[in-house]
Amino acid sequence: MPSTILVAEDQADIRDLLVMNLRNASYDVSAVADGTAALASQNEVASDLLILDLMMPGMDGLEVCKALRARGRSTPILMLTAKSTELDRVLGLELGADDYLTKPFSLAELLARVKALLRRADMQRAALAGALSAANLLRNGDLEIQPSKRTVSYRGEAI
């Protein structure tokens, strides 16, 4: 199942370019033109990754990022912006963005960053799932029960 990506970009040409290239890379992509729509879409179904333009009408990318992090969402966020000062980058990262790419950008670099962010998120999910399944292990002497895997073993032998 392909990863889902939401692109929130107010410039139609950039938004269309991103959508086309991400779809060509086999991602399931949806797009919106402003931050309010981006935040509303994440209330319905959370995407695996968000690409947010920093400067959008209404609610900007920083506000969307801040609102999602305040709700406890850990969805990876890649900020796109024409602002390239160190202060702008630091502010974006401090408010919860995972990566920051300035315009104009290379599509190859954007796709590599998307892939890296999704890979990191998958590793974190796998680590969390492993920790949860290890925590769900029930043991009494030589008897082991793993409810999440629906397995029972006695002295190392599956029952």
CATH code for the part of the protein at 4-134: 3.40.50.2300
Reported confidence tier of residue 131, pLDDT bands at 50, 70, 90: low
Q: How far is it, in rounded angstroms, from Cα 23 to Cα 20?
A: 5
pLDDT tens per residue, range 82-129: 877 788 788 888 888 999 999 999 999 999 999 999 999 888 877 776
User: Percent of the chain beyond pLDDT 90?
Assistant: 57
pLDDT for residue 149: 75
- Which long-range contacts link 81-87 to residues 24+ away (Cβ below 8 Å)? 81/53, 81/54, 81/55, 82/54, 82/55, 83/54, 83/55
Average pLDDT over residues 121-146: 76
pLDDT tens per residue, range 56-77: 988 999 999 999 999 989 899 9
pLDDT for residue 88: 77
Q: How far is it, in rounded angstroms, from Cα 70 to Cα 20?
A: 31
Reported confidence tier of residue 135, pLDDT bands at 50, 70, 90: low
Query: Is-contact 47 21, C-beta < 8 A?
Result: no
Q: How far is it, in rounded angstroms, from Cα 136 to Cα 129?
A: 10
- Look over the chain and give the mean of its residue pLDDT values, rounded to a whole number: 89
| Residue of 149 and 159 predicted with greater confidence | 159
Reported confidence tier of residue 132, pLDDT bands at 50, 70, 90: low
Q: What is the pTM of this model?
A: 0.79
Instruction: Indicate whether 137 pLDDT > 70.
Output: yes
Q: How far is it, in rounded angstroms, from Cα 130 to Cα 100?
A: 30
